[in-house]
Structures are given as structure tokens and as C-alpha cells.
Structure 1
Amino acid sequence: MFNRQTLLILLAALAAGLGLWAAQIAFAPSLPRDDGPALDPATLSAVRLFPQPRPLPPFELQQSDGTPLTGSELAGRWTLVFLGFTHCPDVCPTTLTELAGAQRAWMGIPEPRRPRVLFVSVDPDRDSPERAGEYARYFHPDTLAATAQEPALQQFATALGLVYMKVPLEGGDYSMDHSTAVVVLDPRGRQAGLIRPPLVPADIAADLRLLAETIP
């Protein structure tokens, strides 16, 4: 398990990597992609695409309905992945509310290619898959939810470049520190980019609509 110093080091490393990646984006006005037409990053307001999508290693989470969630389950549509937990006091409900605004805005996209939101709880000790699902659907009925036990959960987060850790509180309780970025997966289940706070629902919806039309 990480201690707080380790988390800060990991977050600093992630921030440095994102800075380098942002510089690459700035000097690459039109990025050729290996599976479709070039997409000019300047046309996107919220999503920051990687120069090339990053394949994810095999993973398996448990969905709120009790079925496994694997990479093949996420294929076919653009998916936004957010890590959180149901006892989260601020970041999680705020983020899921903002993502729900984007979901409502893109409801006009035909269902077979309509983007999805996946909430993954990093607190499996308190959040069963069912509880995570109830929490996620409170914000929007279409939001998927899943979690897993360790080490599968940690491996999934690490594959996405995200971090989390348990933080003890007074009285024997605890909270969870976690990354706040939203990961963007393409229709082949690969990590294609990131959305970083502050989130603007209208911008997210417009970007995902464009991505769904350009790289379906």
C-alpha cells in the first residue's frame, strides 16, 4: 500500500509526464492516427488526445450486475473512466454530476455509438459492485459501475496511469486519495487521452460527439 509520500511522488511523475505529453500536442497540430483520419487536436476543447492510443493489458473488474467487465466489454464505443468511491465528500459527486451533464447532452447520438461513462470504485472494502452501481446511477441511469479486489484493482488503475491510496482518519475511519483525471478509451478499448479538471459538460459532450463521428 502506498504511503502519502509515495503518492505525492507518483502524482509529481504523472504531472511531469502530462506536461511532456501536452508539449507534444502543442507542436503537433494534426495527429495521424493508426485507425482513421487525422484529427486536429485544436478542434477539441476538453479531451486531450495522445499521439497514438495506448493498448491496455488484460483486466477484469466486477460490474454492478455481477458480471465481469473486461476489455472486450468496453470495445465498440468511446468510454470515459473515472476512479472514485461512494464515501467521497466532494470530488466524486462533483465529477459524476458534471459527467452526467455531458451524458444528457449527447443523448441524441445513436445508441450503438453513444459514449459511455464508467465509474470504478477504489474502495472495494466498503463498495460492493452493487453499491457502486447504485451510487453511479444516482447521477445518471446509463453510468456503468465496477470495482475489484486487490491486486486486480491496482493493476487496472496503474494501466491507466492513475493512482489511489487509503488515508487513515481519526477514530479508525479512512478516506481514499485518488487521481481526478478522466481517462478516455477509444472504441477499441485503448487509452486514447485524458480530460482534466475543471470539467465543462458542454465541451466534453461536443468533443465526444466529434470523436464518435470521426473515429466511430
Structure 2
Amino acid sequence: MTKTQKTVYILVALVALVMGLTFNKMMSSKQQGDNTSLIDAGIILLPQSRHLPAIELTNQDGQPVAINELKDKWSLLFFGYTFCPDICPTTLAQLRQIKSELPEAVRDKVQIVLVSVDPNRDTPKQLKQYLGYFDPQFVGLTPRSIEELQTVANALSIPFIPADTSKPGYTVDHSGNLALIGPDGTQRGFIRAPLNTQKMVDQLPELVKRK
């Protein structure tokens, strides 16, 4: 990746971050009242749902999955990668704990999805092995290119900065926030990092009642 390309990606990521922060502020002011408990748990709902691009990624079983076809369940979508030294394993461990403490009826309506920001190393096989350490039911998705990944990240307003893959042991800068995808396949909001596991366990049952 050239210096110019990286600069463009950084600028795009910063724009996405500013948009996300603007939405955060707007949503917080509009939702105080009915959604106070959700907001306190870090669950921020959009005033209007967002349609996602019809971009196809590959899951941990090598099957194509369109990002706009994550339907029938509430998807807690996290951008990360298997070589991440800190944020990703911590977040996935928290999500495993949250899922395990939910009532069974609620648990069946929620899925955890990791979208890799490191397609250079995160093959389907690598994703499957890594997610198996946390929960074999977690879904792993890897894009075909950084450009497609950037389109998805921008659509969800969750920024990342592509890494210099020529450097050994490189890391990828990415947000710890989660995107919240509803059963209809649209983005309904965000979940702020760091996660509050107990408040999430308390509030997710209320969230999944929504259509």
C-alpha cells in the first residue's frame, strides 16, 4: 500500500469516525426517556435504520454471506482480527459471557459476528479455529479486499485503518464499538466500547422484543 493510499484510507476512517460521533450525539439527545436503560448499557439506537451494501464476504466455513443478509436474529457485529493482541480477545470473551448469561429464548435470537480487518492473514480456516476458542457458534466473516471492507466499515460508521502488511507482526488499528444489526438485516444502532457485561445481559432481552 502506497503512502498516498494509506493517507486516503486514514482520511476516510476519520470521516467515518466523525459521522459516528455525530450520530452518537444526535441519538443520545433524541432517545433520552424511552431508551434510557439501553443507553446506560451502551446500546445506542439509530433514529432510522440503515440499509447495508450488498457486499459478499466469506464465512469461516468458506461460504459466501452478503453483509445485508444477516437476518432473522439480532447480530452484534464486531470489527477485529485473529492476531489482535488485546481488544479482540477481551471483547470476544465478554461477548461469550454475555451470551452464556442470557435466557435461552433470548440467546437464540442473538448472534455474534466478527468481521476481519485483516484479510491478508484471516483465512476462513484461521477464523474458524480462532473463534472456536470462544464459541463455535460465533460467526466469522472475511472480505475479499480491503476496498470492500472499507465500504462495509463506512456504511456502519465503524472506522479502521488498514495496516502495512509488509511489516512483520503488524497490527491493525480499529474501533472497539459494535454495530447492531436487526432481524430485518438493517443497522439499528451501535454498542459502545468498553462493554458493560452485566448491563448488556440485563438489557438485551428488552432489545430483542423489538421488531
TM-score by length of 2: 0.84
1:213 CA drift (Å): 1.6
Aligned pair partner of 1:51 in 47, 53, 62: 47
Change (3 A) 1:5 1:90: farther
1:94 CA drift (Å): 0.7
Contact residue 78 and residue 208 of structure 1 kept, 8 A: no
The residue number in structure 2 matching 1:149 is 144
Aligned pair partner of 1:3 in 6, 18, 21: 6
Contact residue 177 and residue 190 of structure 2 kept, 8 A: yes
Identity of aligned residues (%): 30
The residue number in structure 2 matching 1:41 is 35
Q: Deviations over 1:42-86 (max 9, x none)?
A: 131221001011111212111111111124641111101101111
Aligned pair partner of 2:23 in 10, 16, 21: 21
User: Which consecutive residues of structure 2, in runs of 5 or more, have no partner in the other structure?
Assistant: none
Change (3 A) 1:165 1:26: closer
Q: Which moved more, 1:10-19 or 1:67-76?
A: 10-19
The residue number in structure 1 matching 2:134 is 139
1:93 CA drift (Å): 0.4
Tell me, in whole angstroms, the C-alpha distance in 1 between the residues paired with 2:165 and 2:70.
Answer: 36
Aligned pair partner of 2:197 in 176, 191, 201: 201
Change (3 A) 1:180 1:27: closer
Contact residue 48 and residue 193 of structure 1 kept, 8 A: yes
SS of 2:158's partner is coil
Once the two structures are superposed, the pairs formed by residues 68-87 of structure 1 within 5 Å of their partners are: 68-71=64-67, 73-87=69-83
SS of 1:99's partner is helix
User: Which consecutive residues of structure 1, in runs of 5 or more, have no partner in the other structure?
Assistant: 31-38
The residue number in structure 1 matching 2:158 is 162
How many residue pairs get aligned? The number is: 205
SS of 1:139's partner is coil
Contact residue 80 and residue 182 of structure 1 kept, 8 A: yes
1:200 CA drift (Å): 1.1
Runs of 4+ in structure 1 deviating by more than 3 angstroms, as ranges, are: 9-16, 166-173
Change (3 A) 1:62 1:42: same
Two-structure CA RMSD over aligned residues (Å): 2.5
Change (3 A) 1:104 1:192: same
Once the two structures are superposed, the pairs formed by residues 105-184 of structure 1 within 5 Å of their partners are: 105-109=101-105, 113-150=108-145, 151-168=147-164, 172-184=168-180
Tell me, in whole angstroms, the C-alpha distance in 2 between the residues paired with 1:95 and 1:84.
Answer: 9
Change (3 A) 1:148 1:20: closer
Tell me, in whole angstroms, the C-alpha distance in 2 between the residues paired with 1:4 and 1:89.
Answer: 24
Which structure has the highest strand share of the two? 1
Tell me, in whole angstroms, the C-alpha distance in 2 between the residues paired with 1:171 and 1:70.
Answer: 31
SS of 2:163's partner is strand
Q: Deviations over 1:79-112 (max 9, x none)?
A: 011011111100110111111111112252256x
Tell me, in whole angstroms, the C-alpha distance in 1 between the residues paired with 2:14 and 2:162.
Answer: 18
Change (3 A) 1:69 1:96: same
